[in-house]
Structure 1
Amino acid sequence: QQDEKLHNDARRFARLLVSEIKLYNEQRVSEGRNNNDLYERLKDDIDRSRQMYEKRVDASVAERFDYFYDELLNTLAQGDAARLGPDCPGPSV
């Protein structure tokens, strides 16, 4: 049950971080989706949020599933990894 809570917390935190990127960068998100270069356009925001995610999420969770990348893919890229662009690091696991 504790393990499930840690996973839920990681998922929720990843969702919050990526939602904030989307909220504060609507124009760049739209352009990035259209040009398949979301990571390039939002690199500083994505990298900063990834660092926050990695600092906060328990290692036992982080080594099993990358919720942050999952949220990038589903929320920013609408399920299409190509929209993230060729320079976007993939999932950490």
Structure 2
Amino acid sequence: MLNNILNLDGVTVLDKKQQKQVNGGMNSCKIVTFTNGVRSEPQRIWNLPSDGYSQEYYAQIACGQELSGDNPVDRCFYDCSHDGFGQ
């Protein structure tokens, strides 16, 4: 299947440098938490820094803070815009 994809017109394999420069979406992530089985409304984290770290890096930090804060949650999930929300 990979060979079929690579043979399509307009398909290019990106090298490591090109892959690092790909930045799609709106540079934001959504955080959803669960406490005692109750799901929170998604919280959006906007304007994440463009300092070489991924959106997921900052979302993981945010979830870590939610899990260990003054009012810790039971579970935390994130979804970032770089690959389209819901992917």
TM over 0.5: no
Indicate the structure (1 or 2) with the bigger Cα radius of gyration.
Answer: 2
Decide which structure has greater strand share.
Answer: 2
TM-score scaled to structure 1, two decimals?
A: 0.30
